[in-house]
Amino acid sequence: MSFLSRAPAPAWPLAAPADDGPGNPWFSWRYVHDNADEILSALQFHVGLTARAVIIAMIVALPLAVVSYWWRPLTGPILALSGILYTIPSLALLALLAPAVGTTTDTAVLIALVLYALLVLVRNALAGLTQVPPEVRDAAAGMGYGRFGRLWRIELPLALPGILTGLRLATVSTVALVTVGALIGRGGLGDMILGGFRNNFYKAEIMTGTILCVGLALVLDLLLAGLGRVLTPWTRERKL
Amino acid sequence: MNYLQEGFVWLNDPLNWTNPGGLLDRLAEHLIVCAWAVLLGCVVAWPLGIWLGHRGRGGGGVVVLANLTLAIPTLAMLTILPLTPLGFGKPPVVVALAVFAVPPLLANAYTGLRQIDPETKDAARGMGLSGGQLLRRVELPLSVPYLAAGLRTAAVQVVATAGLAAFVNGGGLGEIILAGFGIGISNGGAGQIVAGGIVVALVALLVEALLAGVQRLVTPPPLRTGRRARPTAAAPAG
């Protein structure tokens, strides 16, 4: 099965850009209009894959951060390991994963995305946890909080700004990284970018995919920033 | 793992290394493109970052720029640039990679100059140094560790991202993986895909280790104790 054949196989059918005037324009409203369904489903896939990757990474990263916060000797190895993972190129990671888990599903892409989001999340959550002032921790212990109670009621809420910063960074970079998945099969908006390139360099398709991708990253970033403002009202008051 | 074995079998064949278009050719191509991209990034980012840091302005702009580049998919940059007057081949790849090298270089140059103790600068001014002299004799030497950290982040990112260039006919180590995909995963291409992946990952890790050593060498001993300059905007290696 040669799913990456450079020859034909246009993933996205052309919709006669004849009415856009001569040549191959960078922006074509007609293309967007005629292919609304495909564009929407690509966008949907992109959002879905991003959400799944970030949520899974979050579920893995928070316990890791807490574990390395409780047992300091673990901090070094956990950060070093995720740092090494971060250095490995996405293409190499996909090349190692694709033959093992197959390319008909998006599992390989999902695993790669989770691994990359992990480092940002762990690092920021850990930074947020370690900057909780020792007096606060002592006071909580003095009030009779156990390890878990302290973590849940005091340390995690105080680390929330750091965790949210990590979440925002991870989300934005994941949106951009999903496109690389197009190289091994499915990449949401990346399919449009690469599809347009293979499809006789159809510029309108490439630009639509790119703009939607950047726009999606900005929208998600703003949403998370808003969520952060709602969840951490005390940081607003401190600034006044 | 079966695929891993196939990968090593592929790597064990000397012909796969020395053939025209083999690993050695691709490696040279890869490193040359990366060197040009990093050089271009440095030429653009360092003067700008140093000037902004010297003047003490534009910090917000640097942060916005760094965050915005995170959102641009590498693949989009690599696909769009060949369609501009740059044409196909190496030049658009170099420019696209340089775009991703600029934010870490710029941000680190800016922080490098901003983190200098104001009292040090006051003392230098009190000794009668002019603005240019202050920059040359005090600020630049003190920010060398930060400049090195930025260079390291940028270089590793570029080396890692350059693998994608193959998909827009830009050459480099990605070609090995791409060729493996062309054969087809079930027809024996898998070994080559895995081998290419291993080589690309190793090259990125080697460059990271090498530059980490360089960064350590240029950092004055008193500054070395664990306080490594954190890269301000490191995107996952595209």
Could you read off the pLDDT of A163-177 as tens digits, one per residue? Answer: 888 898 889 888 888
Token pair for residue B33?
């493109």
Pick the residue from chain A with its C-alpha nearest to B187: A1
- Report whether pLDDT(B168) > 70: yes
Cβ contacts of B48 within 8 Å, gap of 6 or more: B106, B109
Residue B236 has pLDDT above 60, yes or no: no
pLDDT at B227 over 60: no
Which among B160, B197, B235 has CB closest to A95? Answer: B197
Structure confidence by residue, pLDDT tens digits, B78-114 = 888 877 777 777 788 888 889 888 888 988 888 888 8
pLDDT of residue B83: 75
Contact status of A75 with chain B (Cβ, < 8 Å): no
Q: What is the ipTM of this complex?
A: 0.76
- A-chain residues near B67 (CB < 8 A): 172, 221
| The predicted structure's pLDDT at residue A197 | 78
To the nearest whole Å, the CA of B215 is away from the closest chain A CA by: 17
Q: CA angle, corner B23, sides to A96 and B166, nearest 5?
A: 65
Of B59, B136, B43, B143, the C-alpha closest to B95 is B43
Q: How far apart are CA A96 and CA A91, in angstroms?
A: 9
Domains annotated for chain A, with CATH where assigned, are 34-232 (1.10.3720.10)
DSSP letter for B229, please.
P
Q: Do A218 and B71 touch (CB under 8 A)?
A: yes
Distances (CA, A) of B125 to A89, B50, B119, B120: 46, 18, 10, 9
* Interface mutation target, options A26, A86, A87, A115, chain B, most CBs of B under 10 Å: A87
Find the residue in A nearest to B4 (Cα). A96
Statement: residue B187 has pLDDT above 80: no
pLDDT at A178: 86
The CATH number corresponding to B3-223 among 3.30.470.20, 3.60.15.10, 1.10.3720.10, 1.10.150.20 equals 1.10.3720.10
Q: Do B182 and A5 touch (CB under 8 A)?
A: yes
What pLDDT does residue A16 have? 47
Interface contact flag, A95 B193, Cβ < 8 Å: yes
Residue A16, SS3?
coil
Helices (H), ranges, chain B = 2-12, 14-18, 23-55, 59-71, 74-80, 90-114, 118-126, 131-133, 140-161, 174-183, 189-218
Return residues 92-151 of A near B (CB < 8 Å): 92-96, 98-100, 103, 116, 119
Q: What is the pLDDT of residue B225?
A: 56
Give every residue of chain A whose pLDDT is below 70, as ranges. 1-23, 102-104, 237-240
Q: What share of chain B has pLDDT > 70, as a percent?
A: 87
Q: What is the DSSP letter of A27?
A: -
Q: Are A61 and A115 in contact (CB under 8 A)?
A: no
Contact state of B236 with A98 under an 8 Å Cβ cutoff:
no
Distance CA A139, CA A150 (A): 10
The b/e string for A133-160 (b: 16+ C-beta within 10 A; e otherwise) is eeeeeeebeeeebeeeebbeebbbebbb
pLDDT of res. A6: 43
